[in-house]
Structure 1
Amino acid sequence: MHIKTFDAAVPYEAPNHFGCYGLRLQGFEPGGPTNQWVAISQFLPGGGAGPDSTPFEKVYVVLEGEMTVIADGREVVLKKYDSCTIAPGEIRTIENRANLTCTMLVVIPYPKEAGK
């Protein structure tokens, strides 16, 4: 078992994100997960990311607030405990259009170059 307290979470900057503060909860440390890493992203009102894509899938779970996700010409608002999977290569934009901070759990597999 690998335990990491929230106080030990390490901040990180995600490319092409704005109005966002990310904390890595698990991953990229000895004894941690070997297949994916897990983060909490906090988006201020007006914050978001994209448009862009990655060569691997991502899972978003909204824990607080709401997030608008736009992909493949479809727009959906995720609310508390709603989730979505973004497929590899899928171009997505996310926008916090609400007046409250949105907190999302993000699960992403390790990139191949990380050797995982």
Structure 2
Amino acid sequence: MQVTLYREAKPYEAAEHYDMRCLRLQGKEATATDTIWIGLSHLLPGAHTSLKDASVEKIYIVLAGEVTIETQDETVTLGYLDSCRLAPGEARALSNRTNAPASVLLAMPT
């Protein structure tokens, strides 16, 4: 078993993420996972990412606040425990358009 305690989770830098603090909970340098990694991002009010695609699918689950996810085709605002899946190659941008902090869990293949 490999445990990551939240208080000991290591931050990581994500390119084109603005006013966000990201923590690695599982996978990559945190633990030896075979297929996925899990990250937790805290978004300050006004935080956002660029509209960018990835070669792998992504799953987002909102843990606190509201996070708006924009693709080239649609925009949706997710709240507590709402989730979405983005297909490989589907560009996305995340933003916190509120005056309160938000947190989102990210799961994606290694």
Q: Place the TM-score, normalised by the shorter chain, in its bin.
A: over 0.9
Task: Say how many residue pairs are matched.
Answer: 110
Look up the SS of the partner of 2:50 in the other structure.
strand
The runs of 4+ residues in structure 1 deviating greater than 4 Å are none
Identity of counterpart residues, as a percentage? 37
Q: Give the C-alpha shift of residue 11 in structure 1.
A: 0.2
Pairs within 5 Å for 1:1-116: 1-29=1-29, 32-110=32-110
Q: Which runs of 5+ in 2 are unaligned?
A: none
Residues 31, 74 of structure 1: CA spacing in aligned structure 2 closer, same or farther, 3 A cutoff?
Answer: closer
Look up the SS of the partner of 1:51 in the other structure.
coil
Residues 7, 73 of structure 1: CA spacing in aligned structure 2 closer, same or farther, 3 A cutoff?
Answer: same
CA distance in 1: counterparts of 2:74 and 2:31, whole angstroms: 39
CA distance in 2: counterparts of 1:3 and 1:71, whole angstroms: 34
CA distance in 2: counterparts of 1:74 and 1:30, whole angstroms: 33
CA distance in 1: counterparts of 2:64 and 2:25, whole angstroms: 17
Look up the SS of the partner of 1:14 in the other structure.
coil
Q: Give the C-alpha shift of residue 95 in structure 1.
A: 1.1
Q: Which runs of 5+ in 1 are unaligned?
A: 111-116
Residues 30, 38 of structure 1: CA spacing in aligned structure 2 closer, same or farther, 3 A cutoff?
Answer: closer
CA distance in 1: counterparts of 2:9 and 2:57, whole angstroms: 23
TM-score by length of 1: 0.89
Letter of the aligned partner of 1:27 in structure 2?
G
CA distance in 2: counterparts of 1:59 and 1:30, whole angstroms: 19
State the Cα RMSD in Å. 1.3
